[in-house]
Structure 1
Amino acid sequence: MRLASLLLAAIASLPLAAAAAHPADLYQQHCLSCHGAQRMGAMAPALLPQSLERIKPSEVLAVIRDGRAATQMAGFAGRLSDADIGELAAWLATPPATPPVWREADTAASRIQYRDPARLPPRPGFAANVDPHNLFVVVEAGDHHVTVLDGDRFTPITRFKSRFALHGGPKFSPDGRFVYFASRDGWVTQYDLYTLQTVAEIRVGLNTRNVAVSGDGRWVLAGNTLPQTLVLLDANGLKPVKTIAVRDRAGKASRVSAVYDAAPRQSFVVALKDAAELWEISYNPQADKIYPGLVHDYQMGEGLAVPGFLNPRVTPLSMVLDDFFFDAGYRHVMAASRDGQAQVINLDARSKVATLPLDGMPHLGSGITFEQDGHHYMATPNLKGGRVTVIDMDRWQVAADIATPGPGFFLRSHENTPYAWVDAMMSPRRDTLSIIDKRSFKVVRQLTLRPGKTNAHVEFTRDGRYALVSIMETPGELVVVDAATFKEVAALPMMKPIGKYNVYNKVTRSEGTSH
């Protein structure tokens, strides 16, 4: 595995020390009580390769050696040799000899209810001059906290500890009251933005890809890579409804690559990481009438007890999807694979309707849409190439390739600005933001707010007047920029703010942000 090899290389650079003890024995002695049997997590996070894959090897070594501030994780420097620490870190990057198991009963047993959803107050409890729809939820990965920010005054309202390593953007209930988080090691959290309190938590697996919230606010669907399942939850308190084994038409298990809500269709759309299929799971109670034969359209193995309208409609593909993006009407999916293929799939006909020339690795999940001169466009950054590609969605053709300083991860805009902002955080020019005029498809400005640091993940206030930029460092900052003049107007200290999400833009499905 790449993480294990990188850790071994890091170990080789450590000072010479006495021969290391067996890492499994070190884990039993020093780690098991907090991180659990089979490294599945307990009072501390899981230490499985899937849980650690996005953490730099040097950071893994540093945490074992020095501990983690404001947690019960104490450092082992002085108690373990450098060689012991290095061997333990490398061992954690390899799969357990006995694969860990997480069952439906484990999910049910893990649920924690902090507040009775039925007894929550009907209105926000904070000051009357705070717009609950212009709040930002800021995920701070540096010390695993979340800040709720007033988007009018750019002042924090509260800051609370999150589960370890939140993954993917948080999702909101349709009214913007509740926000749902998913951690890499499987915890789903429901948080109430009116009372600023956690309502419930549940662990749906050992490694979770992301969650989606249904457009009617009734359901949360979590997609896992370990185990290979989809877990359906009641959005009001996170009670488990059903665990669905993810298997393709041949019965082969697959990890989930992504799950999104397609609200106008009243369905969830799921991409599989190990199978050339796209699933659509309707939550419309009348789905069996809309799609005749749906209940018998596809079987997912024994014990299937979910209502018929939750069975998936399957679109066979010629490639395995890594990422996808909906058009404005949610009739089409633009989908890309890791090997540079890209297609347009009609969800109604369940077939490919176009091929898109998108090589490299387009990050479709971070794309935006906009209208210009009577045409509907989608634009996407690229994780392997320094460019933004603009697609004419009326003709399914590439309209422009816009050069940027390097591969970027996030592209953002807003209906009330003519500009789109893209980072180059996957490149040596990670401190450079490119500002693109959506009318001319030209880069009109390059902005470096903090030289030498990662300037990334732009998100706009609900009116589009200000752009908030993450300085993704530990410690880092949240920098507020006037979206018309590009002048800095405020800066807030943060601990590696990997993303911030405006309630209004998310619940109204703004064309300038991901959904």
Structure 2
Amino acid sequence: MIRSSTLIAAALIALLSAAHAEEPDPARLYTQHCAACHGGDRLGAIGPALLPQNLERLKPADAVKVILHGRPASQMAGFDGVLTQQEAEALAGWVFRPPATPPQWGLEETAASHTVFVNPATLPDRPTHSADPMNLFTVVESGDHHVSVVDGDRFTVLDRFPSHFALHGGIKYDPTGRFAYMVSRDGWVDQYDLWTLQRVAEVRAGINTRNIAVSADGRWIAVGNAVPASVMILNARDLTPERIIPVSAGGQDSRVSAVYTAPPRHSFLVALKDLPEIWEIPYDKPLKPYYPGLVHSYEPSMVEALSVQDGPFSIRRIKLEDYLDDFFFDQSYRHVMGAARTGAKGQVVNLSVGRKVADIPLTGMPHLGSGITFDWNGTRVMASPNLKENKITVINMTDWSLVKDIPTLGPGFFLRGHENSPYIFADVFFGPNRDAVHVIDKRTLEITRTLRPEPGKTVAHAEFTQDGRYVLLSLMEQDGALIVMDATTLEEVKRLPMRRPVGKYNVANKIRYEEGTSH
């Protein structure tokens, strides 16, 4: 009996040991199958970074599917038949865990990634094509990670080139409109010459990046990073890294939510996710000459709310009562409107005095970064879509009161207008009516028509030509298109086939800060 029990125990131990030995080793699997494309440190190579912060939009179950079956229109091959379901699940769970050593990315790593393809000094001084350089569009095609350059007069594609994975839809331009700057979510910044239709330079300025901004003088690029918590300053001439500004206060780091340029102020404005502050970073010259007598204008109770340091790229910290996660500016850039994504109201901050001056009724998780302004009954108003409520919020920019909530068929993501158009175009990005685009009369603040260019398919992100005669819509499907509409008759003019087109921006509207385009 003892011998039988001993044999049974030994058999159980052997089975348990065998089962334990067969448990997948995700670190080994990653090194064997993933490191060549995604980097041994998971920071990315020809494939994107595989860190929790870079995978926020991907569910673990979907990650398993990508591992086994690949990703369409990309270099990601499937490993079904190479990896078991259990191994794929273990690998997916592993990449969603932070690495034992926090990733580092500073000036040295950025400089090592820098490549100049064309010396800017050798570029011609005029366009090499016949299209109007002010009426070009750059279109991000997320379906197969490309960018198309579209002639806004003939509605033809002048060039189409590959982009880095997960390119941010908000492409930016220098003040002349010659260079386009684009950034991927894993920090790759590219410079493209719209006059000669070629890439100029690229650099990796972060690991998890939110967006970029171009200084009003065209000299600097500010890159807002969540990982590492920083603002990277690049020379706009060829993306040479200039300076890294850690985003930290009182021993606490903060992810950057977004970075913007404020042209009249000669500065960048930085929205922070983890600190109730706004940072203003001047470029070109010290901060104080742009704010004569500023520090001395403060009441004693306000002094601690502001920190001013001299020199370009110094930091002015404006402390607030609540967190701000999105920004909108008035035309003068004197006021910034912000709303925390989890808050029930917004704040108006006067940048001249460095403090909050008003609350505003913003309850539907507004997407202020896509807000627009226009004149209504002699009053300048701001309109914002909302990500969680079926409405567009219109705010009086004189007294910051609510003018109207315009009911919609669902939450929206983008608003667009133009000073030469009587209409606002608002998509219904979320929910069953994602195929709808509302056309709103700026005079009555009423929906006059609801377009459905492709029933059952997502249609979003309107953008006007520089003269406001035509509006372009994105059919955001894998086999999608750029839909050209007459902005007056609302009739379709043309379609350009594209692979899930998302953000697109007209050069003139963007660099001239057209009131109906997000800045």
| Same structural fold, with TM-score higher than 0.5 when normalized by the shorter chain | yes
Tell me, in whole angstroms, the C-alpha distance in 2 between the residues paired with 1:269 and 1:196. 31
| Pair 57,508 (structure 1): closer, same or farther in 2 beyond 3 Å | farther
| Equivalent residue in structure 1 for 2:392, among 388, 407, 410 | 388
Tell me, in whole angstroms, the C-alpha distance in 1 between the residues paired with 2:114 and 2:454. 42
Tell me, in whole angstroms, the C-alpha distance in 1 between the residues paired with 2:107 and 2:257. 20
Tell me, in whole angstroms, the C-alpha distance in 2 between the residues paired with 1:192 and 1:479. 25
- Structure 1 residue 185, shift from structure 2 partner: 0.5
The equivalences for 1:14-53 within 5 A come to: 21-53=24-56
| Pair 323,195 (structure 1): closer, same or farther in 2 beyond 3 Å | same
- Structure 1 residue 462, shift from structure 2 partner: 0.8
- Structure 1 residue 261, shift from structure 2 partner: 0.4
> Which residue of the partner structure matches residue 361 of structure 2?
357
The equivalences for 1:470-485 within 5 A come to: 470-485=474-489
Tell me, in whole angstroms, the C-alpha distance in 1 between the residues paired with 2:162 and 2:72. 13
Cα deviation digits, residues 255-283 of structure 1 (max 9, x gap):
11110001111111111110000011112
Tell me, in whole angstroms, the C-alpha distance in 2 between the residues paired with 1:420 and 1:138. 21
> Which residue of the partner structure matches residue 439 of structure 1?
443
| Pair 215,402 (structure 1): closer, same or farther in 2 beyond 3 Å | same
Instruction: Say if 2:286 and 2:310, in contact at 8 Å, map to a contact too.
Output: no
Tell me, in whole angstroms, the C-alpha distance in 1 between the residues paired with 2:98 and 2:286. 44
Residue 508 of structure 2 aligns to a residue whose secondary structure is helix
> Which residue of the partner structure matches residue 85 of structure 2?
82
> Which residue of the partner structure matches residue 240 of structure 2?
239
Tell me, in whole angstroms, the C-alpha distance in 1 between the residues paired with 2:452 and 2:58. 26
Tell me, in whole angstroms, the C-alpha distance in 1 between the residues paired with 2:63 and 2:439. 35
Cα deviation digits, residues 278-337 of structure 1 (max 9, x gap):
011112425333346999x99x99xxxx97132121111011111010001110001100
> Which residue of the partner structure matches residue 207 of structure 1?
208
Residue 100 of structure 2 aligns to a residue whose secondary structure is coil
> Which residue of the partner structure matches residue 149 of structure 2?
148
Cα deviation digits, residues 359-385 of structure 1 (max 9, x gap):
120110000000122210100000010
Tell me, in whole angstroms, the C-alpha distance in 1 between the residues paired with 2:96 and 2:513. 38
Percent identity for Structure 1 against Structure 2: 56
| Pair 59,501 (structure 1): closer, same or farther in 2 beyond 3 Å | farther
The equivalences for 1:94-493 within 5 A come to: 94-126=97-129, 128=130, 130-248=131-249, 250-285=250-285, 287-291=287-291, 308-340=311-343, 341-493=345-497
Code of the aligned partner of 2:69 = D
Cα deviation digits, residues 434-465 of structure 1 (max 9, x gap):
11111001111111111111111111111111
Residue 148 of structure 1 aligns to a residue whose secondary structure is strand
Tell me, in whole angstroms, the C-alpha distance in 2 between the residues paired with 1:158 and 1:168. 17
Code of the aligned partner of 2:511 = V
Residue 309 of structure 1 aligns to a residue whose secondary structure is coil
- Structure 1 residue 236, shift from structure 2 partner: 0.2
Instruction: Say if 1:168 and 1:209, in contact at 8 Å, map to a contact too.
Output: no
Instruction: Say if 2:29 and 2:91, in contact at 8 Å, map to a contact too.
Output: yes
Instruction: Say if 1:294 and 1:309, in contact at 8 Å, map to a contact too.
Output: no
Instruction: Say if 2:223 and 2:231, in contact at 8 Å, map to a contact too.
Output: yes
Tell me, in whole angstroms, the C-alpha distance in 2 between the residues paired with 1:294 and 1:352. 16
Tell me, in whole angstroms, the C-alpha distance in 1 between the residues paired with 2:193 and 2:246. 30
Q: RMSD over aligned Cα, in angstroms?
A: 2.4
- Structure 1 residue 20, shift from structure 2 partner: 6.2
Residue 90 of structure 2 aligns to a residue whose secondary structure is helix
Tell me, in whole angstroms, the C-alpha distance in 2 between the residues paired with 1:55 and 1:138. 23
Tell me, in whole angstroms, the C-alpha distance in 2 between the residues paired with 1:501 and 1:58. 34
Structure 1 stretch 427-436 or stretch 156-165: which is displaced more? 427-436
Structure whose alpha-carbon radius of gyration is higher: 2
- Structure 1 residue 391, shift from structure 2 partner: 0.6
Residue 308 of structure 1 aligns to a residue whose secondary structure is coil
- Structure 1 residue 98, shift from structure 2 partner: 2.6
- Count of paired positions: 492
Cα deviation digits, residues 124-180 of structure 1 (max 9, x gap):
111x2x111111100011111000011111111110000110124011000100010
Tell me, in whole angstroms, the C-alpha distance in 1 between the residues paired with 2:190 and 2:28. 33
- Structure 1 residue 71, shift from structure 2 partner: 4.7
> Which residue of the partner structure matches residue 66 of structure 1?
69
- Structure 1 residue 48, shift from structure 2 partner: 1.4
Tell me, in whole angstroms, the C-alpha distance in 2 between the residues paired with 1:202 and 1:427. 37
Residue 412 of structure 2 aligns to a residue whose secondary structure is coil
> Which residue of the partner structure matches residue 16 of structure 2?
none
- Structure 1 residue 491, shift from structure 2 partner: 1.1
Gaps of 5+ in 2: 1-21, 296-302
Gaps of 5+ in 1: 1-18
